[in-house]
Structure formats: C-alpha cells, structure tokens
Amino acid sequence: MDVGSTYTKAAKIDLDGARLIRRAEVPTTSATDVLHGLDAAVAAVGGGDELRVCSSAGGGLRLAVIGYEALVTAEAGHRVGLSAGAQVVHVAAGPMSGPGLTRLRAARPDVLLLVGGTDGGDGEVLLHNARRLAAARIRLPVVLAGNADVRDEALAVLTARGVPVTPAANVLPRIGVLDPLPARAAIRDVFLRHVIGGKRLSRGRRFASLVRAATPDAVLAGVEALADRTGFGILVVDVGGATTDVYSALVPDPESETGPRRDVAGTLWRARTVEGDLGVAAGADGTRAAAVAEKLPEPGDDRDLAATAAVVALRRHARGRPGLCDVRLLLGSGGVLRHGGGERVLGAVLSDVAGGWAPPDRARTVIDEQYVLAAAGLLSADHPAVAGELLSNSIRYEM
C-alpha cells in the first residue's frame, strides 16, 4: 500500500511466486480519514494476509539539517536527509543564532537532523547548537548524528530539557567518508514514531501502526534492490501531483572515493531528491514557475507539465553529481507516465542538453507500469529474493 497525497495505491503480491496478482488505486481520503481510501483499495484487490504500508500523505516528512560547516558536514547531512525519504526544507551551518532559530521555525520541519564535526574533530559547534535548541525549548524530535566524541554530552543537554532525541552514528566520521545508513534508519524510526500520528490523517492509532516507511524511502529501497540485481547504473524520475522525486543508483567510482576527485562531504552512490514545488496537480503552479526560471517552454496539458517537472527535477538532482551520464536504465513512474505520457516525459529528459548536466546517451527507457518499486521496497528487508524477482517479473529492463 502507498498512501499518497492524491491517490492510494494497492498492490497484491504472491510471495510464493514473486508476482503481482492485482493492483488498484483510489483517491486518497485525507479530508476525512485516510483509512477510508486505504480500506477501499485493499477491497479492490481482494484483500490480503498482511498489510505493508508507506505514506507521503500530508506532505510526507519535512526535515531540517543543522551542521557545522556548509560545504562539509551540513552538506553531508543534507544528502543523508534526502536519501531518507525526507523533503529537506532547511539547512543551517555554523553556530545557531536567534535569527537562525526564527528561520528554522519558519521552515516548519517535522524532524531535525543535528550533525557536526568528524569523529575526534571539532565538537564545540555541535554542543553550541544542542544548547541553543534546548534553551529555545524546541519540541521537535531530533536525530543526533554528529561527532561521536561529544555525542553523549549533546544528548544529555537536549534530553535534560525534554527534547526527544534519537542518537545515531556520525554521518561523516572522516573527511570524504559518508555513512548514511544509521542516520537514515533513525530518521525513518522518528518518522514512524512521531510524525505519522502527528499529521492527523486518521483517527485512532491504526494507520500509524500500519505505516512502515515514508513513500520515497520505500521507493529508494526498491531502486536499490533493482540496482543490486542489474549491476548497472539506474536513474528514476517519479512525477506526482504534488512533488517530483528523482532517484539514482550508480556504480561506485574508486577515483571519486579515494583519488583527487574525492568529495570532502562524501559521495552518496544511492541518492534521492524531492522537489516539493514540482507536480502536475497541486504542484502545477510551481512547475510553471520553474519553467520560466529554467527558460523552458510554458507547459500546456498534463503531459507537458510532467515533462517539465521531470526535466527541472533531473537538472536539480544532477548538478554537481557525477556519473549520471553512464546510467543504463532510465525508469519513469507516476500516473501521467503510466497512462500514456511516458514517451514524451522521458524523451524530454534525454534530450535536455541545455540543463547543466550530460543526460545518459546509452540508457534504455522503461515505465514502471505496475508501480512495483514501492512494493518491492516494502518487501526488500524481510523478503529480498521476492523483491528482486518481483522487479524482474514486472519491469522489463533486459539490455
């Protein structure tokens, strides 16, 4: 189950045969109770023995990143947040001030990712920011993933003032070494424990108990499973009504990890970005504004909007991220693409030679017609073989 801002999608999977039995989608019932739409979608596929749910309803997960230095730990935290299925709505670097706290509150994040310093490096900025957040009585949940040498002290400062904190390993333990998985898991845990219930999408606790991940986190897990199965680089663009998400899973380049081209903030070979201003329904005005800013033709119908959203989202995702020109599979997802607009949308992406990045010239284009990436992602932790087979059976990517 994927409870989106516009539609709730159900995919009934046979675990024994690793195949899609039936799928359905119904309008998301956010105005009343999202469980009404969820139950209707379950009924439309004939029910099942177990429910696995991801959700981006209510705007998904809004994350703020507070780091030590803009080009290193703050950037590393930003990349980790994007990979965790979050819409990063605010990034701050250095010692926080009063105006900085005002800007943080104005961004209306659901969760704060507090990072800073490599292990054994500077710890003063991380401690300063922890004290500032505690003194300001910030009640938002915090994921603390900075310098391990001062983590316990920062944790004590925050918890003493009642701030809910989840500690995790440092996102940047050493210069050039990015460790996203512990913080990504912590952000997911905080999303499930604190955010889903707080969006008032449903009465009672049943919906919160069913949700296992933010939808972009589930889709990224599906993309990772597909990349592991194929062994080559993959690029995915998912155009929705309110947001456009881009996922990339690249083959690691040793020169970029240890050579002179090493990125000091670390290289995230499995990455995701979300563009909260690009879409074909609620995000249509943002797409039109982005077209003007990027000097693209004014979009007309939904397929034009989807193509524009995809082009702008890929430009933003790709700038400063090497290796995308070598991907072998460009996968499109989203309602407009599944309903006949895929060729136009993906064609626009591959022909975009004026956007500041080099589009792949050897990529095969495929549409996720059955919308199985999220389903595979929800299955990948407990049933990795089923997830892989489901992707192979549903997405024809033979080269």
Query: CA-CA distance, 335 to 91, in Å (whole number)?
Result: 31
Amino acid letter for position 354: A
Supply the range of the domain harboring residue 353.
Answer: 215-394
161 and 70 both lie in a single domain: yes
Helix spans in the chain (H): 34-44, 73-83, 98-106, 124-135, 151-160, 181-190, 206-210, 215-230, 254-258, 284-293, 302-318, 335-336, 342-350, 373-380, 384-394
Query: CA-CA distance, 31 to 23, in Å (whole number)?
Result: 24
Amino acid letter for position 99: P
pLDDT tens for each residue of 59-114: 778 899 999 888 777 788 887 887 776 788 899 999 999 999 999 999 999 999 99
3-state secondary structure of 124: helix
Say what the pLDDT of residue 261 is.
47
Query: CA-CA distance, 220 to 288, in Å (whole number)?
Result: 27
Q: Name the domain boundary from 148, 182, 212.
A: 212
| Percent of the chain's residues with pLDDT above 70 | 95
pLDDT tens for each residue of 153-172: 999 999 999 999 999 999 99
287 and 359 both lie in a single domain: yes
Q: Name the domain boundary from 164, 180, 212.
A: 212
162 and 206 both lie in a single domain: no
Q: Which residues contact 379 (CB under 8 A, 6 or more apart)?
A: 13, 15, 52, 386, 387, 390
pLDDT tens for each residue of 276-289: 789 998 889 999 99
154 and 139 both lie in a single domain: yes
Least trusted range by pLDDT, from 29-33, 75-79, 307-311, 346-350: 75-79
- Residue 291 domain-assigned? yes
CB 261 within 8 A of CB 298: no
Number of structural domains found in the chain: 3
Query: CA-CA distance, 23 to 5, in Å (whole number)?
Result: 18
Query: CA-CA distance, 180 to 173, in Å (whole number)?
Result: 10
81 and 229 both lie in a single domain: no
pTM score of the predicted model: 0.81
Say which residue the tokens 């108990």 belong to: 209
Query: CA-CA distance, 356 to 143, in Å (whole number)?
Result: 34
